[in-house]
Amino acid sequence: MTQNQPAPRIRRSPEQVRAAVHQAVVDLLSDPEGEDLNIPAIAQRAGVNHTSVYRRWGSLDALLADMVTTRLERDSPLNDTGSLRGDLIAWAEASVASMHTPQGRALVRAVILSMPNGAQAQSDRAGQFRRRMRSIEQIRERAMARGEDPPPLEEILDQLIAPFYIRTIFGIDLPATGYPELLVDRLLGGSDPDPD
């Protein structure tokens, strides 16, 4: 099956349909020469009837929001490196690795395309953001349990997280090496634990 051919329609469970539709969104967003993102194109790529997609999600915005939420919920806490700096660098390195994949870039595009307008949509987006920040909060909690003094979440957002997304949104390449350490050291006060 070539990339532009629809998946064959077979009987699937609701969760299998959801996964196939989400993957179709990622595939279409990842394809620089792909067609416009719309429900008929997504349904065709997923191998489901477009009426099923409308019935389940109601709109493209709702589908994109569901896909974003599901992907963000896959984040799991990273291993404890033993220090705040190490944990933040590990988180940042994982983010850089994700942004270098078509799936990671597709997720950022989906976030942008589903920017909320109404109050309910904004509330839903705030919930997505809280899920994204859960792993950072876990890093902060581990640091406090070790007696370290982590920066507030807002500072981590502004100085560590925002640069990754801004660069991805505007198509500015993320440096291949050293960028996570640079941002984390700036965030933590510019200290260099390895001065030699």
> Residue 54 pLDDT > 90, yes or no?
yes
Residue 69 pLDDT class (50, 70, 90 cuts):
confident
Give, in order, the Cα–Cα distances in Å from 149 to each of 85, 134, 135.
11, 18, 17
Contacts of 11-14 with CB under 8 Å at 24 or more apart are 12/48, 14/56
pLDDT tens digits for range 137-150 = 999 999 999 999 99
**Alpha carbons within 13 A on the beta-carbon side of 32:** 3
- Gyration radius of the chain over CA positions: 19
> Residue 31 pLDDT > 90, yes or no?
no
> Residue 194 pLDDT > 60, yes or no?
no
Question: Which has the closest alpha carbon to 75: 137, 15, 17?
Answer: 137
> Residue 192 pLDDT > 50, yes or no?
no
When the pLDDT of each residue in the chain is averaged and rounded to a whole number, the result is 81
Model pTM above 0.75: no
Q: Determine which of 45-54, 142-151, 187-196 has the lowest per-residue pLDDT on average.
A: 187-196
Over range 5-32, report the average pLDDT: 81
Buried b (16+ CB within 10 A) or exposed e, 120-137: eeeebbeebeebbbebbe
Measure the N-to-C terminal CA separation of the chain; round to a whole number of Å: 55
Amino acid sitting at position 104 = G
* The two structure tokens encoding residue 3: 């990339």
Amino acid sitting at position 155 = E
Over range 65-69, report the average pLDDT: 79
Beta strands in 110-179 (DSSP E): none
Amino acid sitting at position 114 = S
pLDDT tens digits for range 93-116 = 888 887 777 777 777 777 777 676
Of residues 134 and 45, more confidently modeled:
45
Over range 116-121, report the average pLDDT: 68
Over range 30-44, report the average pLDDT: 83
Over range 32-48, report the average pLDDT: 85
Q: Is there a contact between 37 and 113 (Cβ–Cβ < 8 Å)?
A: yes
Write down the pLDDT at residue 182: 94
